Amino acid sequence: MIKKFLGIFLAATVCISMVGFDKATNSQNKNETQQTQSKAETLKGTKRSFDPSGLEYYEPKAWAEKGNASIVFAAGGKYGIAYTIAQIPYEYVEVEFMKQLEKEGKDAKTEEEQKKLAEKYQSKAKEFLVIMILDKSKEKSGPKGDIEAKEEAFKKYKHHEKVAEKDNLECYVLYNDEYNESGLSEEEKKNFKEVLKGIDELKKSIKLSTPVSEEEKIAAYKNIEFKTRTIDGKEIDNSIFKRSKLTMVNIWATFCGPCIKEMPDIQSLCEELKKENINVIGIVADTPDDENEVLAKNIVKQKGVRYENIIPDEKLKKGILSTVSGVPTTIFVDSKGNIVGKPIVGSCSKEDYKKAIDESLKSSK
């Protein structure tokens, strides 16, 4: 719900944007796990796995049933380089409030109207917990911004509880004893307190494994197959790859600010590369979904995108998309449907995409 709300604003303007988002996948992490806290069985709710950081846990069932406690976004750096490997904040906000805000958001056209809605959202949304994974071997040598982000997050919370570790990785859960309840009704305050009771349950379920990078997961797939439709309803299948010597496949989502922001550059790149028989297609990762499909059509229209954007079928969802833990992710496919070159995780400049295309062409020979 939060992602959809943010997506409405992002479709109209990029003045409100997210730093990044790693999709929480439900795939089973097969690495050896180690948990240093209590191993008591918990009442398992929704499973969350973040393979690039080696994190796995279960959200309390009550959170999933009521839908009023959820991830805002999941940010983090690359394992082996970054100090902050994962930073995942949770917020409390009532579902009915979000539904109403979503309706209002569709009619918010001006920047001033969007600003008022954002303020309304912030008055009700209460961040109450952050899961952080730190690589202690990078505490001195990691990016300065990572250290600052960690310090800023720790300052906001009284408790910094280490709940799991694996090799150099340490997982902390940040939370408070008391929270600011301003702007909440008495009923909302009661519901918020119920959400907070689930923190201990979540802590007990956390496990860490050796991180598996998106590049490693994608490398397990040699080709892409699909038979589906575009967001405009046209039938399309993987035979489209035969028409070009190389196809750049950009995997994005309607809630992803960086995905939307880079679209004009990708469209410009697509036009430049046509003469070289290189194509671009998009895969909308958070479809099929009626609302998201409408939103996706509005986004590509407003961003001037003319390359095909497709709705993933079961083959895509169980195949290459099952390896994608963050959007945008871009891969390259040759005329035979084989994945070539190196995937790009995250957004990048048009020049960087050109370099990746050149490298992919060389590797496909």
CA 117 to chain centre: 23
Output phi, psi for 316, to 5 deg: -70, -45
Read off the pLDDT of residues 96-120 as tens digits, 9 standing for 90 and up: 999 898 888 878 778 888 888 889 9
Read off the pLDDT of residues 243-301 as tens digits, 9 standing for 90 and up: 999 999 999 999 898 999 999 999 999 999 999 999 999 999 999 999 999 999 999 99
Helix/strand/coil for 346: coil
Q: DSSP secondary-structure letter at 142?
A: S
Residue 186, pLDDT above cutoff 80: yes
Residue 75, pLDDT above cutoff 80: yes
Sign of CA dihedral 197, 201, 204, 206: negative
Read off the pLDDT of residues 303-359 as tens digits, 9 standing for 90 and up: 999 999 999 999 999 999 988 877 899 999 999 999 999 999 888 999 999 999 999
Whether the Cβ atoms of residue 59 and residue 207 lie closer than 8 Å to each other:
no
Enter the tokens of residue 250: 């950009």
- Per-residue pLDDT band for 217 (boundaries 50, 70, 90) equals confident
Mean pLDDT of the 156-177 span: 97
Domain boundaries, the chain: 2-209, 214-363
Give the residue carrying structure tokens 């709710």: 45
- Per-residue pLDDT band for 60 (boundaries 50, 70, 90) equals very high
Question: What CATH class does 214-363 carry?
Answer: alpha beta
CA distance linking residue 113 with residue 90, whole number of Å: 26
Q: pTM for this one?
A: 0.70
